[in-house]
Amino acid sequence: MKFKIKRGDEVVVIAGSQKGKRGKVLQVLADKERVVIEGVAMLKHHERKTDKTEGGIVEREGSVHYSNVAKAADYDKKRSKKA
């Protein structure tokens, strides 16, 4: 399936618990039909201490289904027509 949303696009979450948040697309997971957005759907991940990392609880972005996301330019254009 081909997505209109690409890595680096500015997007707005239009549905779900993260509704209204904006961010840049960091990654597109085509096989799962999801996108990872900067600063949206943050998850806490417990990491083990290694030689390279200090370990502890790390926050990272989770994924959002692509149907719950719209390009920011299209979203703003649609919102301005209603007002």
Q: Looking at residue 54, what DSSP letter applies?
A: -
State both tokens at 25.
């697309």
Phi, psi of 70 (to 5 degrees): -135, 150
Beta strand extents in the chain (DSSP E only): 10-13, 22-29, 34-37, 42-47, 56-61, 63-65, 69-71
> What is the rounded CA–CA span in Å between residue 41 and residue 37?
8
Domains of the chain: 10-82 (2.30.30.30)
- Position 29 pLDDT exceeds 90: yes
pLDDT in tens, 30-64: 999 999 999 999 999 999 999 998 999 999 999 99
The pTM of this model reads: 0.85
- Position 79 pLDDT exceeds 70: yes
